[in-house]
Amino acid sequence: MRISWVAAGAAVLVLAGCSGGDDDAAAPQTTAAAVTDTVALPPECENRADTIVFERTGSNPAGSQQLPLVTAVALPVPIVPDADRVRSTDQLRTEAAATDTLTYVIYVGDEEFPSTSVSLFSDGPSEEGKVRGSITLTPTSTPLKTGDVVQAGTPELDTFTTLSTLTADIKTAAGQFTAYRGDLQGEVRVLALTDDTLCIDADLTWPTSDGELRVDGVIRAVLAPRAITWFS
């Protein structure tokens, strides 16, 4: 049985890797706005509940069946396929600032945190007793858009980094590792992707050794500035 270790919010399945220079671990800086559809938010997003099922059961429990959605932020992370490592850092940086092909790491929590505080390396809640959940969406081949349905799989992108189209996790503290068994089941529907909002409807289940991660509900996340790091 395949076991996936999830250590951070990034969409990493087997091989972790990204680029971006000496400032990789810094909070993201504005480089270019994410290219998105300009659409009105549907009723599911406007009238979303104030809580969501985001819970891991078993010996490493976290979250709740009614987790308060105090903050939800979606971090766009550029994907610049370069499996053969032929592009220079400057070329990759230029393409990362302009590409429409983006991974979105959605961070949710029962605490307040600014959209400018998240990065690809965000790890756990900032306050003791709180939790930080994450859902990562990566396109299969073409950029994500309103109406897409994302399921777990492997993107058809020629990247050196091994990515998954869909991952999820929840943490009670920084540096927390969780082993999930088999494949992440379920799907995420992209209800709206606009210039400043990513709204999704998630229905996910991922077994652990003695429990499971369960995510069910609508999340309306504010788009953070595009990350200065990228997958290649």
The verdict on residue 142 lying in a domain is yes
Instruction: Judge contact between 19 and 229, C-beta under 8 A.
Output: yes
Instruction: Judge contact between 5 and 206, C-beta under 8 A.
Output: no
End-to-end CA distance of the chain: 28
Q: How many domains does the chain have?
A: 1
In residues, how long is the chain? 232
> Tokens 């009105």 correspond to what residue?
40
The verdict on residue 13 lying in a domain is yes
The verdict on residue 54 lying in a domain is yes
Q: Rounded to an integer, what distance in angstroms lies between the CA atom of residue 132 and that of residue 228?
A: 22
The verdict on residue 97 lying in a domain is yes
Give start and end residues of each alpha helix (H) in the chain: 43-46, 89-98
- Given a cut of 90, whether residue 134 has pLDDT beyond it is yes
The verdict on residue 101 lying in a domain is yes
* pLDDT band for position 6 (cuts 50, 70, 90): low
> Tokens 């492997």 correspond to what residue?
154
pLDDT in tens, 30-64: 333 344 444 589 999 999 999 999 999 999 999 99
- Going by the DSSP 8-state scheme, the letter that residue 25 receives in this structure is T
Task: Determine the average pLDDT of the residues in 114-132.
Answer: 91
The verdict on residue 185 lying in a domain is yes
* Residues 168-190 as b or e (16 or more Cβ within 10 Å = b): bbbbbeeebebebeeebebbbbb
Q: Is the dihedral of CA 139, 223, 123, 55 positive or negative?
A: negative
Q: In terms of residue numbers, what domain contains 133? A: 3-223
The verdict on residue 231 lying in a domain is no
The verdict on residue 228 lying in a domain is no
What are the beta bridge partners of residue 150? 188
Average pLDDT, rounded, for the chain = 87
pTM, entire model: 0.86
**230: number of Cβ within 10 Å:** 27
User: Which pLDDT does position 121 carry in this prediction?
Assistant: 82
